[in-house]
Amino acid sequence: RQRQPRGSGRRSGCALRPGGPPGAAAMAVCGQGAEAEGFAYEYEDPAHPARLLGAFRGFYLDGLFTDIALQGASGVCLRCHRAVLAACSGYFKAMFTADMKEKAKSQIRLPELSHAVLEALVNYAYTSQIEITKRNVQSLLQAADLLQFASVKKACEQFLVRHLDTDNCIGMHAFAEYHSCSELEKEARRMMLLWQFEDVWKQEEFLDIGKEKLAFILSRENLNVWKEEAAIEAVVKWVAHNVEERIEDIYELLSCIQIDLDNVYLRSALSLQKKCRLNDNKIRSLVYNALNPSPKGLSKRPTATMYVIGGYYWHPLSEVHVWDPLTDTWVQGTDMPDHTRESYGVTNLGPDIYVTGGYRTESIEALDTVWIYNSERDEWTEGCPMLDARYYHCAVSLSGCIYALGGYRQGAPVQEAEFYDPLKKKWVPIANMIKGT
């Protein structure tokens, strides 16, 4: 045979490389030249993040490798790891990296935080879990805001939005403004203005609202009162609560309602009697005597916007129509994506309108589908499906949740009921109705 010169031609195929323990098969490396050398296997262990976090949790519980101690109001120290705290908290990251005196300390005092709240945040840093309740939510949010645990603060804010009602929306609005919680502030303001203002001003905490905030509320064009008399009564109640200090503000507040007042009469009457201890009946008499024209001539104020979703006219409709009472006009919103169904339930929660269930027109197939229309952004998103498909059912919102009750499936009434918790983003079964509807 003639031997081929060394280095000529291309080498290909598989080469057997001996090695390993005796008796082991030789390792085959297949490929062609540079292609074989350039091959790489990008391995990623999906369990690694949880395992790493679990390891640090074990170090924390056993007091291993800790390099900082946190001391709350109780005086009890929690020994932690700077790196873990800095990874979760902008406050601690700045403290341990900037040129601050705390950088060199082995113990940090946080006397404004209770031990329970501080321990809950530290446990969150090591576990990614924290329990939020009505009892601790405000303290947790305040602490998370101070220590810049952004995700915990956001979770507390969503919890408070979920529990907003006419009893607490005024206080929650002030709380949200102080702690820069934009979503909570917006939803509390929506409740004060667009929901039942007449229920809101009858609450005890309304009496402590500041003049500037009350003036802001009364001056909104979208304040949801049917007649100005309701807004006037709110002003009277607020002033009567502290006559000596507030009687001077009554004209300014009434001017926010945009009603005609006999300026000379009202100012003269208040000037003569401002040093007297007026009750709300006397103040009410002064105000109504100053009205021009009389209260019966007061105009109706616009109420909240009305939405008409879908419907049926020879075939299912998918249009969204919106009536604006300020301009007395109808405008059209974005069509509902799923347009082949009918007999669904519709209810709203804050700015979101939930369209639940229904059935397919061509097959009378009951649906568990949920679509959500955001009235502020004029857009649809698909929501979490219900546990039970249903049509002709009742859909209502209560205490920050959506309830789907009864209805029909396969032509027969059903008794199942369930509710959707937007915080947990899931439907939960509740007791069946006594009788299907």
The C-alpha angle with vertex 13 and arms to 9 and 19, in degrees rounded to 5, equals: 115
Burial letters for 47-78: b for 16+ Cβ neighbours within 10 Å, e otherwise?
eeeeeeeeebbebbeeeeebebebbbeeeeeb
Say what the pLDDT of residue 13 is. Answer: 47
Say what the pLDDT of residue 373 is. Answer: 93
CA 387 – CA 368 distance, rounded (Å): 7
- Under a CB-based contact definition with an 8 Å cutoff, are residues 88 and 74 in contact? no
Cα–Cα nearest to 350, from 162, 202, 203: 162
Say what the pLDDT of residue 236 is. Answer: 81
Say what the pLDDT of residue 395 is. Answer: 94
| Domains of the chain with CATH codes | 49-178 (3.30.710.10), 196-297 (1.25.40.420), 306-430 (2.120.10.80)
Q: β-strands 401-405, 417-421: how paired?
A: antiparallel
**What are the backbone dihedrals phi and psi of residue 227, each rounded to the nearest 5 degrees, phi first?**
-135, 155
Say what the pLDDT of residue 272 is. Answer: 58
CA 280 – CA 246 distance, rounded (Å): 12
Burial letters for 319-356: b for 16+ Cβ neighbours within 10 Å, e otherwise?
ebebeeeeeeeeeebeebebeebbbbbbbbbbebbbbb
Query: Quick count: other Cβ atoms within 10 Å of Cβ 406?
Result: 18
* Per-residue pLDDT tens digits of the chain, which is 437 residues long: 445 545 444 444 444 444 555 544 444 445 555 555 678 888 999 999 999 999 999 999 998 998 899 999 999 999 999 999 999 999 999 998 887 777 778 889 999 999 999 999 999 999 999 999 999 999 999 999 999 999 999 999 999 998 888 888 888 998 999 999 999 998 888 887 766 677 788 888 888 888 888 888 888 776 766 666 777 788 888 888 877 778 778 878 887 776 666 666 666 666 656 555 566 677 777 777 766 655 544 444 555 678 898 888 888 888 889 887 767 788 888 999 877 888 899 999 888 999 999 988 888 889 999 999 998 888 999 999 999 999 999 999 988 899 999 999 888 899 999 999 988 899 999 999 988 77
- Under a CB-based contact definition with an 8 Å cutoff, are residues 408 and 393 in contact? yes
CA 325 – CA 372 distance, rounded (Å): 23
Query: Quick count: other Cβ atoms within 10 Å of Cβ 404?
Result: 27
Ramachandran region, residue 144 (left: φ > 0; alpha: ψ -120 to 50; beta: rest): alpha
Say what the pLDDT of residue 1 is. Answer: 45
User: Could you give the 3-state DSSP secondary structure of residue 264?
Assistant: helix
Using CA atoms, how far residue 97 sits from 89, 103, 126, 149, 230, in Å, is 12, 7, 20, 17, 56
**CA-based torsion, 239, 242, 243, 247: positive or negative:** negative
What is the rounded end-to-end Cα distance, in angstroms, of the chain? Answer: 95
Instruction: Give, as one character, the DSSP assignment of residue 300.
Output: B
